[in-house]
Amino acid sequence: MPEKILVVDDEKEICKLCQRVLTESGYSVLTAGDYNEAIKILKKERFDLVLTDLRLDGHSGLDILSNIKERYPLTSVIIMSAYASVESAIEALRKGCYDYLLKPFDIDELVFTVKRCIQHQRAEQEVTLFKETSYIYQFAQEISKTGDEETLLRLILKSALLISKADSGSILVYDDSTETLELKVSIGLDENITKIMKVGERIAGYVVKRKEALILENGLKKYPEFSHVPSRDDITCSICMPVMLQDKVIGVLCLNKQNVKYYIFSEHEEKILNVFCSHASLVIQAFRVNKELNELDKLKNQFIANVSHELRTPLMSISGAVELLESSMPDGSKQLIELISRNTQRMTKLVGELLDFSKLETGVFKYCFMEESLQKLLNDIVKDFEKPFHDKNIELTASIPGTLPPVKIDKSRINQAISNLMSNALKFTEPNSRVKLTAKKSKGEIVISVEDTGIGIDKEHLGRIFDRFYQVDGSITRERSGVGIGLAISKKIIEDHKGRIWAESESNKGSKFYITLPI
């Protein structure tokens, strides 16, 4: 559809010239010879641009400008005048006129100014559309964790009002299963408006049925299909758009222009609002999916916490009983008891990891920071791992200088983070090879590393091993035990100590894990 232009001038020749030139440039042009005729035309139709003379019989072009800005704030105005004075130009610009054409102007100047004005008008609306859309996207992501859908819908409605410069509006959400529309948010409307309606009922129901936008002008009197709907005199013009996700209606957006006399929503506004509605529907959908995922995530964490708790109590009893039995058993049964003991310890470790994991997810990981000697802590870890490494015939060496400065840490959590690396080195290294634990002071931090000569990690997996549940070999039939949360826990602990953790590795060439702790 070509843009609509109204030319107002008491010189017939100017009107004719403008009409001819601008029609040739692809616009749809009407002319008016005086103020009253212009106002009459403007009452009936909405224009994208009005070109008006500054001096009309008894009236000023500035009156037309004010009139237009009051009725159609999105319509641009260009003033034409032979009596240009700086003051009148400034006043026209102050009142919202886009530009000023000095008579006599040549054809190129006219076409150039009009084109630039229309482009500017479109670009302005598209920029607002873009700004508002990206804002609601960001907002939806933020509030999907804690906020509710109503807050999001209110923001969408506010953005729609901003884009269309409308005065009031509402959003209704459609429930496919009951074929019902429910009004969820409204701005600038009476609280007592109808809140629930079926498909086909009232205006919004009609829009759902037709799946098409509807523009209503000057109250509802001229629409027999809505004769039963009470008309509101203060609403001059409305636009009701279906909010569609693919080919399904998920809601209706209604916007109203109030208390301005002859406003008509333009096709361009309809187009812009259509784009906005399709963005809004994606945002609503993303919000709903996110919300559901967050709720499932909460359930999952709760489930892990509950299961771990339930498992921990009987495991503690078994461990205690096994310890008692170990001391009073004849030699032949000792091996069996040791087996039970080892497996109970393994399960206890796993349950502990699961509990830590659920705490990590729900943000209730607690620390007790104290000034500690890393030398003692690292030597204790080496002592704890001596036997398992020896049993697997892996040479464990350590380089822990006695000069390491004290650090402020939660001792047992740091022990846990480093022990996870040691357990992995033990697990992923074949017998007859070597593992080394090293610590040294570097600039402002202490660097601890655990280096093995084990199976290594391929480049494509290396970036993901600190992710929750990630395992290079995640199959049930894999040779090595584990559930893939040890490194995620270590990472959380180290980052909560303001340190860093990373790995260097190559497949079949061993791995080196690093941890830094600030001094």
Span interacting with ligand ADP, options 95-103, 212-220, 250-258, 481-489, rule CB under 6 A: 481-489
CA–CA dist 350, 271 (Å, integer): 58
Residue 371 β-bridge partners: 408
- According to CB under 6 A, which one of 452, 492, 493, 501 is a site residue for ligand ADP? 452
- According to CB under 6 A, which one of 60, 113, 344, 420 is a site residue for ligand ADP? 420
Question: Judged by CB, which is closer to ligand ADP: 276, or 357?
Answer: 357
Beta carbon of residue 248, minimum distance to ligand ADP (angstroms, whole number): 42
Nearest residue to 68 (alpha-carbon basis) of 101, 45, 85: 45
Number of other residues whose CB lies within 10 A of the CB of residue 277 = 21
Asked if 471 touches ligand ADP (CB under 6 A), the answer is: yes
What is residue 404's DSSP assignment?
P
CA–CA dist 119, 77 (Å, integer): 13
Token pair of 79 as six digits: 């003033």
Span interacting with ligand ADP, options 134-142, 213-221, 255-263, 453-461, rule CB under 6 A: 453-461
- According to CB under 6 A, which one of 254, 485, 494, 515 is a site residue for ligand ADP? 485
Asked if 515 touches ligand ADP (CB under 6 A), the answer is: no
Beta carbon of residue 396, minimum distance to ligand ADP (angstroms, whole number): 13
- According to CB under 6 A, which one of 454, 492, 514, 517 is a site residue for ligand ADP? 454
Question: Judged by CB, which is closer to ligand ADP: 511, or 516?
Answer: 511
Asked if 278 touches ligand ADP (CB under 6 A), the answer is: no
Token pair of 361 as six digits: 């997810």
Measured CA distances, 61 to 42, 51, 55, 516 (Å): 14, 9, 6, 74
Output the residue with the shortest Cβ distance to ligand ADP.
482
Burial of 37 (0-12, 13-18, 19+ CB in 10 A): middle
CA–CA dist 437, 400 (Å, integer): 8
Question: Judged by CB, which is closer to ligand ADP: 31, or 511?
Answer: 511
What is residue 225's DSSP assignment?
G
Beta carbon of residue 446, minimum distance to ligand ADP (angstroms, whole number): 21
Q: Are 169 and 196 in contact (CB under 8 A)?
A: no
Beta carbon of residue 509, minimum distance to ligand ADP (angstroms, whole number): 10
Question: Judged by CB, which is closer to ligand ADP: 241, or 425?
Answer: 425
CA–CA dist 95, 80 (Å, integer): 15
Asked if 472 touches ligand ADP (CB under 6 A), the answer is: yes
Asked if 486 touches ligand ADP (CB under 6 A), the answer is: yes
Asked if 388 touches ligand ADP (CB under 6 A), the answer is: no
- According to CB under 6 A, which one of 289, 336, 370, 483 is a site residue for ligand ADP? 483
Asked if 501 touches ligand ADP (CB under 6 A), the answer is: no
Contacts of 9 (CB under 8 A, 6+ apart): 15, 18, 31, 33, 51, 52, 53, 56, 80
Contacts of 328 (CB under 8 A, 6+ apart): none
Query: What three-state secondary structure class fits 60?
Result: strand
Which 229-268 positions form the footprint of ligand ADP (CB under 6 A)?
Answer: none
Number of other residues whose CB lies within 10 A of the CB of residue 261 = 15
Give me the amino acid identity at 57.
Answer: D
Beta carbon of residue 502, minimum distance to ligand ADP (angstroms, whole number): 12
Question: Judged by CB, which is closer to ligand ADP: 172, or 472?
Answer: 472
Q: How many residues bind ligand ADP (CB under 6 A)?
A: 21
Q: Where are the alpha helices (DSSP H) in 45-148?
A: 61-71, 86-94, 107-146
Asked if 457 touches ligand ADP (CB under 6 A), the answer is: yes
Q: What is the dihedral of CA 202, 204, 209, 210, to 10 degrees?
A: 110
The sign one gets for the Cα dihedral 71, 74, 80, 86 is: positive
CA–CA dist 257, 237 (Å, integer): 5
Beta carbon of residue 411, minimum distance to ligand ADP (angstroms, whole number): 21
- According to CB under 6 A, which one of 260, 484, 496, 500 is a site residue for ligand ADP? 484
- According to CB under 6 A, which one of 10, 184, 482, 496 is a site residue for ligand ADP? 482
Which 421-450 positions form the footprint of ligand ADP (CB under 6 A)?
Answer: 424-425, 428
Angle at 369 between CA 366 and CA 374, to 5 degrees: 120
Token pair of 179 as six digits: 């074929």
Question: Judged by CB, which is closer to ligand ADP: 136, or 394?
Answer: 394
Token pair of 427 as six digits: 């697990």
Asked if 455 touches ligand ADP (CB under 6 A), the answer is: yes
Tokens 């601890």 map to which residue? 448
Beta carbon of residue 493, minimum distance to ligand ADP (angstroms, whole number): 13
Question: Judged by CB, which is closer to ligand ADP: 447, or 519?
Answer: 447
Query: What three-state secondary structure class fits 162?
Result: helix
Span interacting with ligand ADP, options 174-182, 204-212, 330-338, 454-462, rule CB under 6 A: 454-462
Give me the amino acid identity at 385.
Answer: F
Span interacting with ligand ADP, options 17-25, 48-56, 73-81, 478-486, rule CB under 6 A: 478-486
Beta carbon of residue 242, minimum distance to ligand ADP (angstroms, whole number): 48
Question: Judged by CB, which is closer to ligand ADP: 204, or 488?
Answer: 488
Query: Residue 76: how many CA atoms within 13 Å on its side-chain side?
Result: 22
Beta carbon of residue 127, minimum distance to ligand ADP (angstroms, whole number): 47
Question: Judged by CB, which is closer to ligand ADP: 39, or 488?
Answer: 488
Which residues would be at the binding site for ligand ADP (CB under 6 A)? 420, 424-425, 428, 452, 454-457, 465, 470-472, 482-488, 511
